[in-house]
Structure 1
Amino acid sequence: MSTDRRLLSRHAEELVTEALADTRVVLINGARQAGKSTLTRLSTEATIPTSVRMLDDPATLLSARDDPTGFVDHDGLMIIDEIQLAPELLSPIKLTVDLDPRPGQFLLTGSSRVLSLRHLPDTLPGRMEIIELWPFSQGELTSTPDRFVDAVFRHGPELEHTSELRRRDYLERVTIGGFPEAVRRTPRRRSAFFDSYLATLIERDVLELASIERHGELLSLLGLLAAHTGGLLVPAAIAGQSGIPRTTLNRYLELLTAVFLIKRIPAWSPNHARRIVGTPKLAFVDSGIACHLLGQDAHRLGEPGGAAGPILESFVQMELARQLTWSQQRGRLYHYRTKEQREVDAVIESPDGRVVGIEVKAGATVRAEDLAGLRDLARQAGDRFVAGIVLYTGGQTLPYGDRLRALPMDALWRLEP
């Protein structure tokens, strides 16, 4: 696997290029150090920007805040990096593109969810397209198709795949994660990167969104959340374990979501009204950070009592979340859990209501009871149920009856539509 990020293409590059062709303002929004600046450069190689403004530079930021209207005055394409540092620029950008509706006028990047910024002005509805950039997917790291979502909706239970990867190989991958800096480092240096990354995230990005006085409390909470990776996110239970008041905890969870550290995966139900009150699951955007917070390398993960099961579940959920940003098949990501505790780790529902269920198993064998949740989901979805797939660490495709089968986990990034 190449670790030279200059050689790794990003699926989002095509999305940015397409958006600039028909949209006035394009925002690349994603985690710090995920490669937004590099993506911006690659996406605009054919269009020489008239202005590139890096708000990380103190003098540039001061200029933006002192004269936001003059700052955005330009011809052609203007790139503004880290727009969340100067949200006051969004109002003059809106005025500019209202007066001149040509596409491709502004390309912005942000390392916080811009819609979460305090005192945010009108967020350019109908004028701005937001493209989320995650840390590298496995397909981007291995130059493989990354089209599982398209393949499963097109071929359903007819999918076939074999793999030479085994459990240890997958555990190595999840401990590395997808941040460009982490991918190219040795394990010891990777750990140093994660420490620095988390400290910067709390000290800088979170403080851009809200005033946090007890930074240590938030760092401690991260370790507790890592222990809940792949599980239900019940704020009352976490508040009790952490000693953090419930209202403060909810605020922290919103902030950690806004800086792309965690993701809440909502519950699926055939009754849309119930989805709103269903308990979400917790996933870490990057599996490497989750493993770092747990203090577990590939060997520790694989030991009895290790976190291999929930970490691999969260890893698969986030690979699916990444794919849904570029797949031809549109869909939304959920999980499924009944009162009888029948569960499916990931459910993808298309706009026309078709449903695919994905169960994740850390072992190399699949038992009949491992498919109980998928069978229950199939009954609930009825004719809308496309397929139920168990992704496991074995090497063969195994059929399990009507619309159900097990596939090696790397089918996620190796299958083509």
Structure 2
Amino acid sequence: MRQAVEYLPRRAAGLIEEALSDTRVVIINGARQSGKSTLADRCLGDRPDAVKRYLDDPRTRASAAADPIAFLDAPGTMLIDEVQRVPELWLAIKNIVDRDPRPGRFLLTGSARLLSLSELSDALPGRSETLELFPLSQGEILGTPEGFIDAAFAEGARLRTAPSDLRRRDYMAIAARGGYPEAVRRINPRRRAQFFKSYLDDIMSRDVHQVADIQRSSDMRRLVSTLAAQSGGLLNYSRLSSDLGVPVTTVREYIGLLEVVYLIRLIPAWSANATARAIATPKLVFNDSGLAAHLLSGITNDATTGGLIETFVLGELARQLAWSQTMTRLLHYRDRDGYEVDVILEDNAGRIVAIEVKAAETVRTDDFRALRILQRRLGARFHAGFVLYCGDQQLPFGDGLSCVPINALWTTSQPDLAAGQS
């Protein structure tokens, strides 16, 4: 049985158990080394008649490919780890759950966005639920509450946070560590750097080639390094094409592949009728700030520092969306006049919580300029605006606006939303 060293409880565990109680096929998707196998194993630890299959074992993989139906025969829940390695299993799973609709039949894990792969094009609508597992959040690492998003929507600018003893250098160190469990365990910076190097080598040599035929892997590697310096910025395919000397079509294809293997994430642009001047360009961020920091080793300037802090904050918010009770979308905003807001959180009612990220220990009135413009344009839809910064305390900056230490993301308790409903 596989056991993790110094296992840190994952917030996704409860979500997986809930899904298994009413859904036939539950899929845990996520980056390599984010802890999917360990989490899946633990979720099934006490289930009677559970069967666990790991497709990184060549013999197990050969058995699955040779006779998928017999391979999938099990009385209880079957865990299939790295299911994308044997695409032949997909239709066999569909056939089984169509004939036997009991919930919790299969728990699948994969290191790529499974339904993006051409071999797995026949999805399971109504039969499956997919949960994305990111690298560890700060709250998971430290064992602290992570209720910022729910509190922001429940309390708005009245949200209260505790003073922080963290400063910019501390946030840079936290961001550079990242959240991959193995990177978190490695205290020695040189050994952590070796992990990131090996991780990238595996992604380039195995995962990317598993989902596409890449003719020039050197171009892909140069693209990854270039994207690290631009993480947190708007995605400009034409500029990347010019900088790398690679056709725009190739750049688009490669960025799509890097999304499939969970190396990067595209944050969609937000717009509404009230902000007709908004542009539709997505923002690109690395899924793990530690990996981006590794690629930026030796490159230190205000742009890369700001980009790394923003990448870290966006990563924490993306993780928190998975377990927040408030159904929220993560977006960004920029208009043709050059005003931009780093993060737009929009709930199902259309309320907006807008966030600016500053890699500074002090905040000025000008740092709220874009938030105030958006506030005027949206009126009642604008619920609250925050500047997350590297300073020590929360301060008000006008009606509905305040600055908040970045660590409020993982130290703010989740409010009792049921008690607050009228």
- Normalising by structure 1, what TM-score? 0.95
Q: Give the drift of 1:136.
A: 0.3
Within 1, Cα distance between the matches of 2:21 and 2:29? 18
Spell out the pairing of 1:282-301 with structure 2 (5 A cutoff): 282-296=284-298, 301=300
| 2:19 alignment counterpart | 19
- Does residue 359 (structure 1) correspond to residue 356 (structure 2)? The answer is yes
Within 1, Cα distance between the matches of 2:115 and 2:342? 28
- Does residue 93 (structure 1) correspond to residue 93 (structure 2)? The answer is yes
Q: Give the drift of 1:412.
A: 0.5
1:223-250: per-residue Cα shift (whole Å, max 9, x none)? Answer: 1001111111011111111111111111
Does the 8 A contact of 2:277 with 2:335 survive in 1? no
| 1:52 alignment counterpart | 52
| 2:370 alignment counterpart | 373
Spell out the pairing of 1:240-259 with structure 2 (5 A cutoff): 240-259=242-261
Could you tell me which amino acid in structure 2 is paired with residue 353 of structure 1? G
1:302-339: per-residue Cα shift (whole Å, max 9, x none)? Answer: xx546211111111111111111111111110011111
Could you tell me which amino acid in structure 1 is paired with residue 403 of structure 2? A
Could you tell me which amino acid in structure 1 is paired with residue 26 of structure 2? V
Q: Give the drift of 1:164.
A: 1.0
Within 2, Cα distance between the matches of 1:320 and 1:392? 15
**C-alpha RMSD of matched pairs (Å):** 1.7
Within 2, Cα distance between the matches of 1:211 and 1:49? 40
- Does residue 224 (structure 1) correspond to residue 226 (structure 2)? The answer is yes
Could you tell me which amino acid in structure 2 is paired with residue 23 of structure 1? T
Does the 8 A contact of 2:350 with 2:381 survive in 1? yes
Within 1, Cα distance between the matches of 2:206 and 2:92? 25
> Residues 403 and 273 of structure 1: is their aligned pair in 2 closer, same or farther, counting only changes over 3 Å?
closer
| 1:177 alignment counterpart | 178
- Does residue 406 (structure 1) correspond to residue 403 (structure 2)? The answer is yes
Does the 8 A contact of 1:267 with 1:280 survive in 2? yes
1:162-211: per-residue Cα shift (whole Å, max 9, x none)? Answer: 11111111111000000011111111001101010001001111111100
> Residues 156 and 196 of structure 1: is their aligned pair in 2 closer, same or farther, counting only changes over 3 Å?
same
> Residues 41 and 49 of structure 1: is their aligned pair in 2 closer, same or farther, counting only changes over 3 Å?
farther
Q: SS in structure 2 opposite 1:62?
A: helix
Could you tell me which amino acid in structure 2 is paired with residue 115 of structure 1? L
Q: Give the drift of 1:276.
A: 11
Does the 8 A contact of 1:118 with 1:210 survive in 2? no
Within 2, Cα distance between the matches of 1:273 and 1:344? 13
- Does residue 332 (structure 1) correspond to residue 329 (structure 2)? The answer is yes
| 2:383 alignment counterpart | 386
The alignment covers a number of residue pairs equal to: 409
- Normalising by structure 2, what TM-score? 0.94
Within 2, Cα distance between the matches of 1:368 and 1:305? 20
Could you tell me which amino acid in structure 2 is paired with residue 370 of structure 1? D
Q: Which 5+ residue runs of structure 2 have no aligned equivalent? A: 415-422
> Residues 272 and 113 of structure 1: is their aligned pair in 2 closer, same or farther, counting only changes over 3 Å?
farther
Does the 8 A contact of 1:331 with 1:348 survive in 2? yes
Does the 8 A contact of 1:88 with 1:121 survive in 2? no
| 2:307 alignment counterpart | 310
| 1:125 alignment counterpart | 125
> Residues 152 and 273 of structure 1: is their aligned pair in 2 closer, same or farther, counting only changes over 3 Å?
closer
Within 2, Cα distance between the matches of 1:362 and 1:276? 25
Could you tell me which amino acid in structure 2 is paired with residue 131 of structure 1? L
> Residues 274 and 78 of structure 1: is their aligned pair in 2 closer, same or farther, counting only changes over 3 Å?
farther
Could you tell me which amino acid in structure 1 is paired with residue 350 of structure 2? G
Q: Give the drift of 1:90.
A: 1.1
> Residues 184 and 203 of structure 1: is their aligned pair in 2 closer, same or farther, counting only changes over 3 Å?
same
Within 2, Cα distance between the matches of 1:295 and 1:356? 33
Does the 8 A contact of 2:279 with 2:336 survive in 1? no
> Residues 58 and 346 of structure 1: is their aligned pair in 2 closer, same or farther, counting only changes over 3 Å?
same
Q: Which 5+ residue runs of structure 1 have no aligned equivalent? A: none
Q: Give the drift of 1:271.
A: 3.6
Q: Give the drift of 1:121.
A: 3.8
> Residues 74 and 272 of structure 1: is their aligned pair in 2 closer, same or farther, counting only changes over 3 Å?
farther
- Does residue 165 (structure 1) correspond to residue 162 (structure 2)? The answer is no
| 1:112 alignment counterpart | 112
Within 1, Cα distance between the matches of 2:274 and 2:180? 35
Within 1, Cα distance between the matches of 2:390 and 2:9? 27
| 1:207 alignment counterpart | 209
Within 1, Cα distance between the matches of 2:6 and 2:77? 24
Does the 8 A contact of 1:157 with 1:403 survive in 2? yes
> Residues 5 and 386 of structure 1: is their aligned pair in 2 closer, same or farther, counting only changes over 3 Å?
farther
1:280-310: per-residue Cα shift (whole Å, max 9, x none)? Answer: 11110000000111114xxx75xx5462111
